């Protein structure tokens, strides 16, 4: 092989992802996070479902309603188990080989603080991103569907 040329690494893609993340496709922060994870998911371990899409069907995702999914982060493992809040990010980043970034969020003491901060963020996310209240979004969704 000529000097400077490299063989491309073969990408292994799973038929069924290990983790399916439910995200708000109208949230700029959520979309940025999803873009990062997609770019680093070289093995097809993650799947992303936009809960803001009119096609979102709670029954297909452990019955997680639009309201529940908009209120906090949810993901489903391949076996159907539901993961919530910061644990979703820990698991997703681990699956794209960036687990070290979120690993400290599981440490005793740190976990309690991070979980508390996340709960505040989840409660304020819509307001901080200039969106309508969760109640208003749910009413609008019901009218659209």
- Check residue 8 and report its DSSP letter: P
Do the strands 74-77 and 46-50 form a parallel or antiparallel pair, or are they unpaired? unpaired
Rounded mean pLDDT of 47-54?
96
Q: What are phi and psi of 49, to 5 degrees?
A: -125, 120
What's the pLDDT tens digit per position in 53-65?
Answer: 999 999 999 999 9
Q: Tell me the C-alpha distance between 120 and 85, whole Å.
A: 11
CA-based nearest residue to 23, from 13, 14, 15, 32 = 32
Q: Tell me the C-alpha distance between 24 and 27, whole Å.
A: 6
pTM of the entire structure? 0.86
Element (H, E) at 33: helix 28-40
Give the least confident one: 1-5, 13-17, 90-94: 1-5
Amino acid 3: pLDDT: 45
Element (H, E) at 54: none
What's the pLDDT tens digit per position in 81-128?
Answer: 999 999 999 999 999 999 999 999 999 999 999 999 999 999 999 999
Rounded mean pLDDT of 15-30?
95
Enter the tokens of residue 100. 């070290």
Q: Crossing angle, helix 86-95 and helix 110-128, to 10 degrees?
A: 100
E-assigned strands of the chain?
Answer: 19-23, 46-50, 74-77, 82-84
* Rg of the chain (C-alpha set): 17
Q: Where are the domains of the chain?
A: 19-144
Q: Tell me the C-alpha distance between 63 and 76, whole Å.
A: 11
């Amino acid at each position: 092989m000529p000097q400077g040329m490299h063989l491309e690494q073969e990408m292994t893609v799973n038929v069924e992802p290990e983790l399916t993340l439910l995200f708000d496709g109208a949230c700029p922060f959520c979309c940025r996070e999803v873009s990062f994870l997609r770019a680093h998911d070289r093995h097809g371990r993650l799947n992303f479902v936009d809960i803001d899409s009119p096609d979102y069907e709670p029954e297909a995702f452990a019955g997680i309603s639009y309201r529940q999914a908009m209120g906090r982060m949810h993901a489903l493992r391949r076996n159907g188990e539901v993961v919530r809040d910061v644990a979703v990010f820990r698991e997703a980043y681990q699956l794209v080989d960036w687990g070290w970034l979120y690993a400290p969020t599981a440490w005793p003491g740190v976990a309690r603080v991070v979980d508390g901060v996340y709960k505040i963020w989840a409660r304020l996310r819509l307001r901080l991103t200039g969106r309508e209240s969760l109640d208003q979004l749910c009413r609008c969704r019901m009218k659209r569907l």
